[in-house]
Structure 1
Amino acid sequence: MNARLDMLNKARDRMIEDRDEHAKVLAAPFDRDKAERARNKFVELQTLIDALDRAISAEKPASA
């Protein structure tokens, strides 16, 4: 695995951990302010994770 791919995978793992924290807030008893912030951050992080997934796919060598 090349260094760039390793870096992208580490970044993805970190973003998943951050996203999970916001999911916990969304799953907790409803608090409008907290839920709204958590929802926005969750969507932002998921968009970033999707972008990292595309970057990881682009870094992987094409199979023959």
Structure 2
Amino acid sequence: MKFLHVIRANSKFSFIPFILMGKPEEVEHLKSSELKPNEGAVKRPVDYEELTTLMNEKLAYFREYISALA
């Protein structure tokens, strides 16, 4: 978690997708907090369909960010 806080504080990393994995109660706490559009969380054991959906969501955000630069 400390790593994420360091990255979140630096605006030049605001577009990099982050997906955190944790225990179900940790994931619920993270989801109830204010995650940025490039951040997500999945619980362990990982449901690969849920992970794939979340990855596609975050990559779509990244594509939109890159498109906005052009």
Report which of the two has the higher share of helix. 1
Report which of the two has the higher share of strand. 2
Per the shorter chain, which TM-score range?
Answer: 0.3 to 0.5
TM-score norm. by structure 1 comes to: 0.45
TM-score norm. by structure 2 comes to: 0.42
Greater RCO (CA < 8 Å, at least 6 residues apart): 1
